[in-house]
Amino acid sequence: MNVKIKNGTISGTIYAPSSKSYTQRYVLYSAFSNKPVKIKNVSFSEDEMVSLKIAESCNATINYNRKDIEIKPDFKCPDSIYVGESGTSYRLSIGLLAARKCKTTIKGEQQLAGRPVEPLIKALSDAGTNFKKHKDGFYMVDGRNSASTGVSIDGGTSSQFVSAMLYYYSILGEGNFTVSNMVSANYVNITINCLRNFGITVHNNGNNYSIENGDYAVKEIGIEGDYSSASYFIVLGIFTGNIKIKNLGIDSLQPDRQIIELLNNATECIKIGGNELTVDKANFIKGIIVDASATPDIAPVISVIGIFSTEGVKIYNYQRLKTKESDRWKGIIEMCRAFGATVSVCENFIEIKKGILKDPESIKFTDHRMIMSAIIAGIIAGSHTEFKNAEKINKSYPEFLVDLKRLGLEIYSDLNLSGDTAI
């Protein structure tokens, strides 16, 4: 689906969708650990649905009630699971299948098969799990010899490798492992918090992690709003004002919560009250520095600010962006230059500054975060751009276009770009 956006007076309130990082962790651990759970405030993004389908493949019964779900697990090893394009579900499932001593074939979309998973495969192989790589790039996991042997793992590519090992040892009931080159440590803290709610205590002594099992009673978990999804509207609000965002945990463990401090230091236009953010139009924008190794998911939308800023945006450790759903390093450069920004690629960082504004005829990405970032750039620029592959947004934020409508924008699909609003 291709869309165009017609600007209007932007004002209103939206509710941040559920954090799929949390949802996937709770769903998968419940299904594999045989610990039932009730989960509230689920947005049913494509990635969340992938985890739910994996749970059903493991013989879990899932009851749906609007935005709430109840998982009643009765674990059985599946012959195969489908991980779609979800890196989180893919990597966590590898650790869980190995711990459950399953012999299972993993299937998914080709785009995901190219993303790195080798450090996790190596660590689990050292612990006794056998793997066979198929022609499609995915693996058959054979966990029949998996053991609680202590191993080491390189976490320099993805924190999800570390989370998968925490799940692995917690299902086995014991064990410890060592991590080197940790990135995005707060995502590991999300996993530790999830395990705590299942009665599992994780001990961390430097780079060494160990597991302690405890008692568990059925939990009812409310999934907090997602900061990476909210970031698009925070950036939009800096240029338009009049945007409120609800359902965000002010004390959240999400790494992308850093966007509040980052942008408030640069603009002083974000107010926090309870679980609500108010974004006013910025009177000034100072230079912004982003560390992509810590917060790779908000780097694309932060780069949008650079398109319209004389002070500019610098993105350090941009190599981390190359191993996400797409090569976001190239995507950011392409997007910013399409709107006329000056982009300088230096040894340690990318710098984006305001140039001569352009109105690109069309922009095409396959990465959900690049598509949403480009749409926000187009709205700020007042462009007439057609944004292709808009259906990819459903991977993380199914109501993104609907929320734009709630703020007063008109959305037209390629089915009728000249007439009625189609979204």
Q: What's the half-sphere exposure (Cβ side, CA atoms, 13 Å) at 147?
A: 7
Cα–Cα distances in Å, from 335 out to 15, 124, 158, 307? 27, 39, 25, 9
CA–centroid distance for 358 within its chain: 30
Alpha helix stretches (DSSP H) within 160-226: 160-172, 185-197
The pair of three-digit structure tokens given for residue 64, joined into one six-digit string: 């749906």
33 backbone dihedrals φ, ψ, rounded to 5°: -90, -10
The pair of three-digit structure tokens given for residue 382, joined into one six-digit string: 């007042």
- Using the CB atoms, write b or e for 4-36: b if 16+ within 10 Å: bbeeeebebebbbbbbbbbbbbbbbbbbbbebb
Beta strands in 194-273 (DSSP E): 200-205, 208-213, 219-222, 243-246, 270-273
Q: How far apart are CA 292 and CA 294, in angstroms?
A: 5
Task: Say which residues have a Cβ less than 8 Å from residue 356's Cβ, sequence separation at least 6.
Answer: 340
294 backbone dihedrals φ, ψ, rounded to 5°: -90, -40
Annotated catalytic residue 79 = no
The length of the chain in residues reads 423
Pairing of strands 68-72, 61-65: antiparallel
Residue 182, classified by CB atoms within 10 Å of its CB into exposed (0-12), middle (13-18) or buried (19+), is middle
Question: Annotated catalytic residue: which of 47, 226, 256, 297?
Answer: 297
Q: How far apart are CA 171 and CA 71, in angstroms?
A: 18
| Active site residue ranges | 297
